[in-house]
Structure 1
């Protein structure tokens, strides 16, 4: 193996390590829903290459209203799936889509884009 092959191999390993760190070990944004005077828990999520915040904390037994603002035209983010709540919504580009649900059980519930590449979770306490 000559020097250029060693450099390419090391570069590939470094890139693979970065991808693993980014998707599995990097810090995630967490947001607790804010309760309104009517008892509805509200939170706003921006969709742009991912969900921000990507972890939403809510209380069990209280209605939740999540507003998803899609700030891009990437086809991956045009659909939202929340299978545990039987929710499937189209997210039009540069518009806000409201999702309402009533979590009855505590736990962690995943939500994804239609392709399963963008991921977030709803943590019910």
Structure 2
């Protein structure tokens, strides 16, 4: 009787600890949503938005300026999950990205209120670019 109570207690502690570990680990990824504009660079009149594809997309939400020619730069580094299969419907882009490298996608000149959505081939991971 005492043995089964101790085992139940240990299993409960392990489950609670595992839950906290998973929650804290996931919050590290969601912090990338809260870092505005660190992935945007304007060079020679062209706005470059950089997204990292590995285990999802980071950052998940980016706000950019309207009226500038815009290019999306998707970087991979040892990416072997479904985030390597990228679809950006608004510009007709669909491709399996190389495991390590860089893909530049021309988004054109975007207007205020427009949104560009990128999604993996399975629909599990996505990112959004909002135009202000």
Q: Distance in 2 between matches of 1:92 and 1:60?
A: 30
Q: Which moved more, 1:81-90 or 1:25-34?
A: 25-34
Q: Name the TM-score, length of structure 1 as normaliser.
A: 0.71
Q: How far did 1:78 drift?
A: 2.0
Task: Give the RMSD, CA atoms, in angstroms.
Answer: 2.9
Residue 87 of structure 1 corresponds to 93
Deviations 1:35-56 (A, max 9, x none): 333x321233332323344433
1:122 aligns with 2:123: no
Distance 1:54 1:21, change over 3 A: closer
Residue 104 of structure 1 corresponds to 111
Secondary structure at the counterpart of residue 106 of structure 1: coil
Structure 2 unaligned residues grouped into runs of 5+:
none
Secondary structure at the counterpart of residue 100 of structure 2: coil
Residue 49 of structure 1 corresponds to 55
Q: How far did 1:5 drift?
A: 3.9
Q: How far did 1:70 drift?
A: 1.2
Contact 1:58 1:64 in 2 (8 A): no
Q: How far did 1:124 drift?
A: 0.7
Secondary structure at the counterpart of residue 20 of structure 2: helix
Q: In proportion to residue count, which structure has more helix? A: 2
1:40 aligns with 2:46: yes
Secondary structure at the counterpart of residue 66 of structure 1: strand
Q: How far did 1:22 drift?
A: 5.3
Distance 1:6 1:90, change over 3 A: closer
